[in-house]
Structure 1
């Protein structure tokens, strides 16, 4: 199997579909408490990012040039700050509205 062959894309596609279907199914069926579902959604999102980086963008953390890894790391920090800051603000506003 060559590195960028059709099999690699199909494996990535199947993994991405599974990692999308699991959270949708959990939310649709209410199979778990909402707090657990949120953690599973977050975990599936992180795994899906890794699947996309590996199977579709062909980024391998052992052979990728240092500049690309620095760019990815900087992007991850920015996303973490934006998402974390947004959640912090929304949770704080929710608590203030509940008073």
Structure 2
């Protein structure tokens, strides 16, 4: 039961069309992923900027520190047990449902 040359040609053309459709679909999905990743990066950048600004607003003295000095300071603060407790409590309170909502 072999196929004729015309049948094979038609099958080839149909598969070529399907392949092009799938390639376009893949490009659309890749574009969507890129768009969503870009949004995630923008959100992260915005969050980092606003939180950095918050630190500078409550501790304006840190503005004069180099990046290395600032990171070192933040690491020392993060190692302090009362700070770790406050962060833990803040995270726990954030994840709990609020009354009346």
- State the TM-score, normalized to the length of structure 2: 0.34
Higher relative contact order (CA 8 A, sep 6+): 1
Q: Which has the larger radius of gyration?
A: 2
TM-score normalized with structure 1 length: 0.35
Please identify which structure carries the higher helix content. 2
